[in-house]
């Protein structure tokens, strides 16, 4: 699990990312901050489109940015939204994070009340589809 100081820093970065979300249709702003094993942080925000299927979530934005930069080892992702409840990754994001970041990725969720919930991706997606399923 991620140290408290690292959690707070990661949550702060996710809040910063959420401010940059483009959500004119849902008005639901989500930010994500993905930290690599080496300590580099990649931000992501949800970006909506009037053709809803073309919308992308904050978690995938962060993960794709990191992979594009050559990153392959990840420690944790923090996810925040403007909801009173925790905002876990959607199913598509869970699957992408599982493949790109690994099942042991720590998922840190922070709600508007300031509460923190931390789980592993394996706990959120116990039966992920992976390359072994293709063989």
Q: Which domains does the chain have, with CATH numbers?
A: 4-128 (3.40.140.10)
| Phi, psi values for residue 74, rounded to 5° | -125, 150
Instruction: Please name every residue paired with 42 in a beta bridge, in sequence order, or none if there are none.
Output: 34
Known binding residues for substrate? 46-52
Known binding residues for Zn(2+)? 57, 90, 93
* pLDDT more than 70, % of the chain: 93
Q: What is the CA radius of gyration of the chain?
A: 14
Residue-wise pLDDT tens digits, 33-89: 999 999 999 999 999 999 999 999 999 999 999 999 999 999 999 999 999 999 999
- Predicted confidence (pLDDT) at residue 127 exceeds the cutoff of 90: no
- Nearest by Cα to 41 from 88, 8, 19: 8
- Nearest by Cα to 26 from 75, 101, 87, 67: 87
- Predicted confidence (pLDDT) at residue 133 exceeds the cutoff of 90: no
User: What length is written for the chain?
Assistant: 135
115 is catalytic: no
Verdict on whether the full-model pTM lies above 0.95 = no
**The one catalytic residue among 8, 59, 118, 135:** 59
């Amino acid at each position: 699990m991620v140290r408290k100081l690292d959690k707070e820093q990661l949550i702060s970065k996710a809040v910063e990312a959420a401010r940059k979300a483009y959500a004119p249709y849902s008005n639901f702003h989500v930010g994500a901050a993905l930290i690599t094993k080496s300590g580099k942080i990649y931000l992501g925000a949800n970006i909506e489109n009037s053709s809803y299927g073309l919308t992308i979530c904050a978690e995938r934005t962060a993960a794709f940015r990191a992979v594009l930069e050559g990153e392959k080892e990840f420690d944790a992702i923090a996810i925040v939204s403007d909801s009173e409840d925790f905002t876990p990754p959607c199913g598509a994001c869970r699957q992408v994070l599982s493949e790109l970041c690994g099942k042991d990725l720590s998922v840190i969720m922070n709600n508007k009340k300031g509460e923190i919930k931390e789980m592993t991706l394996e706990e959120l997606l116990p039966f992920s589809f992976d390359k072994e399923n293709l063989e």
